[in-house]
Chain A
C-alpha cells in the first residue's frame, strides 16, 4: 500500500501530465521546423512560420471571424442567460425543475444533432448559413453554462441587501444596476470568458451552420485534411497558448473569489 501511495500514484499522475503536454510541446517545436513538411528530426530551425503565419490572409480572416462570432454569441448568451437565471431563481418546485431541465438539456444532447436541428431550422427564422447563424448556435450551446454560473452566485446572495436598499428608497432599476449586477460581476466575468472560449474553439456548429466564410477551427480542419505543414503547427500553437492563458486566468479568478467568499461567510 505504501508503495502504491508513494510510487505508483505519483508515477501515473506524471505520466498523465506527460501525455497531456508532450503533443503540445512537439507541435510547438514543429512550428520552428525549416521545411514545408512535418517530419523529424528537426535539424534546421526557423522562426519564419511564427512570423509569417499571422499575415496569412485566410488565417487572419478566419481568426477575425471567430473572434466576431465569439463576441456576438457571448452577448446573446448573456442577454438570454441572465434573465433565465432570474426566472429560475424566482420559481420553485416542479416548475423550477422543469425549467432547469429544459435550459440545461441542450448541453447534454450530442453536438452533431443540435447543430443539424438548428441548421434545418434557421430558414424558418429567415436566416442563411453564415456568421449570424453560427453565433446563434454557439449562444444556444453556452447559455446552459451562463445560467448555471449566474444561478450559483444568485443563490448565495443575501436577500436582505436588496430589501435594505428598497427601504432606503432605491427603485428596482437602481437595485438591479447598483446591487445585483455588481454582486454577480465575478460570475458574469467567468461566464463571459467561458462562453467566448467555447465559441472560439467550437467546430461542429461552425461547420454545419457556417456559410462561405470559415471560422478558425473549420479552416484548420479543412487544411488538415489536405496535409500537415509547420505553418499550421505555428498558428495552432499561438492560438492554444492564448486560449489556455485566458482559460487559466478565468479559472484562477473564479477560484480566488470563491475562496475569499468562503472565508467571509
Chain B
C-alpha cells in the first residue's frame, strides 16, 4: 500500500495535488468540507426548506401557467376538524405518559445493574437487556400481537388456568399499544440513565448512610440530582421517539388510538394535492414537539450542565 502511494508520487498531477493539499489551507478546506457541506445543504436543509415552502402553497404540484398563490389555510385546517386536534393532543398525552412510564420501569432496572449487582456481572446483565435493541419495530409489534391477540398466548394461558372463559380484548387497544411501545422505548431510556448512575461514586452513598441519612433521603438528595442529566436526556429521546411512531400504532393500536403521526401518514397516502396540508401538519408537529422538549429540558436540566453548555 505504502509502496503504491510512493510510486504514485512520480506522476506530476498526483504530486501536485498532494503538495497543494499540504501547502494550501484553502484547498485543504475545500477537499474536506465539500462532501459534508454539500450533503447538509442538499439533503438536510433543502428538504425542510421545501417543506416549509410547500406548506404555504395553495396547491402542489403547481398547475402549469399559473402563478404561485400563498396561503395560511393549511395551517388553519388543523384547527377546523376536531379529528386532527384530538389526534394531536392524544399524541402529546400518550408520549408524555409513555415517557413517565418508561422512566418508572427502567430506573430500578438501571439502578440494579449499575449499583446493586456484583461488579463483575454488570456487563453481562447490561448485554442481556440491550440484546433486543436490534430487533425491528415491526417484528417487535408482531411478537406482541402473538402474545395479546384473542387466541394469543396470554388469553390462552388465562383460559387454561380457568380464570375466564371469554378472551380479554387486549390487542388493538391502548393497553397493547402501551406494552409494545414500552418495549421499544425502554432501551433508549436505559442507556443514558445507566451511564449517569454508573458515574455516581458509591462511597458518596456509604458516607451519607454513615452520617445517618435514611434511604429515601439518599435517593432524593444524592442519586436523583446526580442522575438528573441522564434522566433528562433519556426522557427527551423517548418522547421524540414516541411522537414520531408510525408502524407500531397501526399494528398494535386500534381506531381509538390514532396518533398524529398516523394522521400525517394518511394525508400523504391520499393522492393529489394533499402535500401542502401534510407539510403544514408536519411542521406543526416538529414545532410543538421541539418546543415541548425544549421547555422540559430548561425546567429540569441541572444548572451545572446549562452553564457549561
Contact = CB atoms under 8 A, between A and B. Distances in A.
Given A26-B143, A80-B36, A203 B109 contact: no
A260 interface: no
Interface stretch (A15-23, A45-53, A151-159, A183-191): A15-23
A55 interface: no
Contacts of A21: 132
B145 A113 contact: no
B160 A23 contact: no
A19 B183 CA distance: 8
B139 interface: yes
Contacts of B136: 200-203, 216-217, 220, 239-240, 243
A137 to B, nearest CB: 9
Contacts of B112: 9-10, 12-13
Contacts of A114: 47
A118 B131 CA distance: 31
A120 B51 contact: yes
B131 A120 contact: no
A248 interface: yes
Given A177-B5, A247-B134, A251-B127, A16 B109 contact: yes
B35 A79 contact: yes
Contact of B240 (A102, A110, A247, A252): A110
A120 B243 CA distance: 21
A149 interface: no
Interface string A109-143: 11111101111110011000000000010001001
Interface in A16-50: 16-17, 19-24, 26-27, 30, 37-41
Contact of B32 (A86, A140, A208): A86
Contacts of B265: 112, 208
A27 B142 contact: yes
B247 A203 contact: yes
Interface in A68-102: 79-80, 83-84, 86-87, 90, 102
B18 A172 contact: yes
B156 A5 contact: no
Contact of A239 (B6, B106, B139, B240): B139
B93 interface: no
Given A116-B282, A225-B251, A173 B153 contact: no
Contacts of B143: 23-24, 26-27, 236
Interface in A140-177: 140, 143, 171-174, 177
Contact of A117 (B6, B51, B156, B240): B51
28 contacts: A9-B111, A13-B112, A16-B106, A20-B129, A23-B146, A23-B147, A40-B157, A41-B160, A84-B35, A112-B265, A112-B282, A116-B51, A116-B282, A124-B46, A140-B44, A201-B137, A207-B247, A217-B137, A217-B247, A220-B139, A221-B251, A228-B145, A233-B142, A233-B146, A236-B142, A239-B139, A244-B135, A247-B131
Interface of A: 1, 4-6, 8-10, 12-13, 16-17, 19-24, 26-27, 30, 37-41, 79-80, 83-84, 86-87, 90, 102-103, 105-106, 108-114, 116-121, 124-125, 136, 140, 143, 171-174, 177-178, 197, 200-204, 207-208, 216-217, 220-221, 224-225, 228, 232-233, 236, 239-240, 243-244, 246-248, 251-252, 255
